[in-house]
A = this chain, B = another copy of it.
Amino acid sequence: MPYSIVRAGHAELLVRDLALSRRFYEDILGFVVTEESEGRLFLRGVEERHHHSLVLTESDVPMLGHLAFRVAEDDDLDAMASYFQTLGCHVHFIEDGEEPGQGRALRVQDPFGFPLEFYAEMSPAECLLQKYHLHKGAGVRRLDHFNCFVSDLASCEAMWREGLGFRVTEYVETDEEPRVKKAVWLQRKGNVHDIALMEGRGPRLHHIGFWMDDIGSIIRTCDILGGAEMHEHIERGPGRHGISNAFFLYLRDPDGHRIELYTSDYLTVDPDHRPIRWSATDPRRQTLWGHQTPESWWRDGTVVMDWERNVPVELCGTTDARAAGYIK
């Protein structure tokens, strides 16, 4: 592979009320504001050393602006542009600073409709990890991963694995022959995932996952939301995933974008690390504790932006989680 993706880098969410979203992300989740420009907020977790891992952009229509990955070197961007062109995608570059804090970046609407960005450089920002007295709310540490609904899972997995060099750590599969994959977790940075793909009506973002320091911080987030009578933001959890072993909590932000607070997964750096297979009928894959997943979690997702037209990409595939065998 002529290029090297380092990790999931940042995401941009379009939100309808920036002040309202700011309260959610800054006061409740504990993000730090690096920069505020007209209609946009650049946020980072307390561990992060760069300008942003989350961008909130005010917009009439809530959607995913883009998902961005950090690559090792600027040259990688050109090689990746060629790769996406072989897939028939239109690519373009934005200049250093066009997205505040970020160097030159490649932008592409991938064959599955996702607005992706790749960049090698981002300006440094102060790491507040050890300034514990400044941590607020959940004290989110750093971006961990993206999770997406895609209608053609097999092809999309092939792009991320073979084309972009991600490695599979876990997957869900039907038991009947021919076995069909229903979801797959792929990583670059050495834990369970930088991106997960789930079969469903796509292209849609299922959630953005942020790393937390420990289980106690996640419990405290529930209490803070409960105390503030904002419990309706809690969609699912806390619980322990079978897949990834993570301790998790799923929240819905004021626009319904889904955020996962995530901790306690495992190391996957070994080259012979073997993917774990889960049967699509095993309830422990969802939570090791056997909890039922609320229907909204299977059903809802965030539409993604068409970069040329600034409107959501049209969906295809099925949303019927029951048909997909997820809900009985």
Point out residues on A near B: beta carbons under 8 Å: 6-7, 27-28, 47, 49-50, 70, 72-73, 121, 124, 129-135, 137, 141-142, 189-190, 211, 213-216, 219-220, 222-229, 231-232, 234, 238-240, 242, 245, 247, 264, 266-267, 269-274, 283-284, 287-291
Q: How far is the CA of A258 from the CA of B234 in the complex (A)?
A: 26
State in angstroms the CA–CA spacing of A229 and B288 once bound together: 8
User: Complex Cα distance A303/B134, Å?
Assistant: 35
Which residue of B73, B129, B189, B219 is within 8 Å of A271 (Cβ)? B73
Closest to A225 in B: B289
Find chain B residues with CB under 8 A from A137 CB: 133
This chain: copies in complex: 4
Residues of B within 8 A of A134 (CB): 227
Q: Is the CB of A129 within 8 A of B226?
A: no
**A225 / chain B contacts, CB cutoff of 8 Å:** 133, 289
User: Is the pair B214, A289 in contact by a Cβ cutoff of 8 Å?
Assistant: no
Q: Which B residues touch A242, using CB under 8 A?
A: 130, 226
A215 / chain B contacts, CB cutoff of 8 Å: 214, 216, 219
If A216-B215, A216-B216, A267-B47 touch, whether A227 touches B130 (CB-CB below 8 Å) is yes
Asked, given contacts A6-B270, A264-B214, A284-B231, whether A224 binds B190 with beta carbons under 8 Å apart, the answer is: no
> Do residues A288 and B133 form an inter-chain contact, with CB atoms below 8 A?
no
CB distance from A74 to the nearest CB of B (A): 11
- The residues of B that contact A232 with a CB separation of less than 8 Å are 290
| Shortest Cβ distance from A70 into B: residue | B270
Cα–Cα distance between A226 and B239 once the two chains are bound (Å):
11
A sample of 30 cross-chain residue pairs with beta-carbon separation below 8 angstroms, ordered by A number, consists of A6-B270, A7-B270, A27-B133, A28-B133, A47-B267, A49-B273, A49-B274, A50-B270, A72-B271, A121-B272, A129-B245, A130-B242, A131-B227, A131-B228, A133-B137, A133-B225, A133-B228, A134-B227, A190-B269, A215-B219, A219-B247, A222-B240, A222-B289, A223-B288, A225-B289, A226-B288, A226-B289, A231-B284, A231-B287, A231-B290
Interface centre among A72, A137, A239, A245 (most CB of B within 10 A): A245
Determine the residue in chain B with the shortest Cβ distance to A71.
B271
Question: Whole-angstrom distance between the alpha carbons of A164 and B214 in the complex?
Answer: 33
* Top 5 closest pairs, chain A to chain B, by CB: A231-B290, A132-B227, A226-B288, A132-B223, A133-B228
Complex contacts, A70 vs chain B, CB 8 Å: 270
Bound CA–CA A219/B137 (angstroms): 16
Closest Cβ–Cβ distance, residue A4 to chain B (whole Å): 9
A226-B132, A231-B284, A289-B222 known; A266-B6 Cβ under 8 A: no
Is there contact, CB below 8 Å, between A267 and B189?
yes
What is the distance, in angstroms, from A76's C-beta to the closest C-beta of chain B?
A: 10
